[in-house]
Amino acid sequence: MIKITELAHRQVAEALHGGGRCLAVDATAGGGRDTLFLARLVGPGGHVYTFDIQQEALDQTAALLKQACLTDRVTLVRAGHERMAEYIENAVSAVVFNLGYLPGGDKSIATSSETTLIALRQALHLLRPGGIVTVIAYPGHALGKIEREAVFEFCRSLHSNTYAVSHLTLINREYEPPELFSITKY
Ligand code: SAM
């Protein structure tokens, strides 16, 4: 069964295809699968910055990277993604958000609309032309629904001369399945 994360990864891989030396950002490290994907994708000349507010998430991510011998390609940052502009100076090719809480972790520690929107603005500011920002939102729980609405409105407000924005969900899945927003900069 296909997952929405796979669809996001396909879009990111397409945007980074042939892009030379790439910088990418995982805005929500969580269990580390998105970081691992990005670390493989950017190749030996590229680099990934990964943010999370929980040490537990960064530890899980570090363990995955170690197994894959890709530790050198990633900088793990224990800080909110709303601070990414403090850590990254150069233009980035991709920024990946997978909102919500750490699977198997404390569900009360989750992304929130306010900081997610700050981070999205910073991500678009850092994004190089041709680069992509993806956001997976989870409207299946109350706060996730509020956050999804905020992301939807933010995406809808982006100027069509500068950004192509798409919105995708697997409509034959459970009630209120996750949704993927993708923003490409012209
Ligand atoms: N990308 C992950 C993966 O591949 O497994 C899944 C991410 S998980 C659904 C969401 C993560 O966002 C949690 O680990 C949580 O701690 C983190 N988070 C919550 N607020 C955050 C913030 N302001 N900045 C960065 N990460 C945050």
The pLDDT mean for the chain works out to 96
CA distances from 127 to 53, 64, 90, 108, 162 (A): 22, 26, 9, 30, 12
User: Hey, whose CA ends up nearest to atom 7 of ligand 1?
Assistant: 30
pLDDT at res. 19: 63
Residue 30 CB less than 6 A away from ligand 1: yes
pLDDT for residue 18 is more than 90: no
Cα–Cα distance measured from residue 80 to residue 73, given in angstroms and rounded to the nearest whole number: 20
CB 129 within 8 A of CB 9: no
Q: Find residue 135's DSSP bridge partners.
A: 97, 181
pLDDT at res. 87: 98
Instruction: Kindly state the average pLDDT of the residues 110-136.
Output: 97
Q: What is the pLDDT of residues 23-55, one digit of tens each?
A: 999 999 999 999 999 999 999 999 999 999 999
**Is the Cα dihedral 132, 51, 116, 100 positive or negative?**
positive
The C-alpha angle with vertex 143 and arms to 50 and 108, in degrees rounded to 5, equals 65
102 CA distance to ligand 1 middle (Å): 6
pTM equals: 0.97
Cα–Cα distance measured from residue 93 to residue 169, given in angstroms and rounded to the nearest whole number: 23
Give the position of tokens 């209120």. 176
Q: Hey, what are 136's tokens? A: 């997976």
Q: What is the pLDDT of residues 65-85, one digit of tens each?
A: 999 999 999 999 999 999 999
User: Hey, whose CA ends up nearest to atom 14 of ligand 1?
Assistant: 30
pLDDT at res. 175: 82
18 CA distance to ligand 1 middle (Å): 28
Q: Indicate the pLDDT class of residue 21, thresholds 50, 70 and 90.
A: confident
Q: Indicate the pLDDT class of residue 17, thresholds 50, 70 and 90.
A: confident
Which of 63-72, 113-122, 174-183 comes out lowest in average pLDDT? 174-183
| Amino acid identity, position 141 | H
Q: Indicate the pLDDT class of residue 161, thresholds 50, 70 and 90.
A: very high
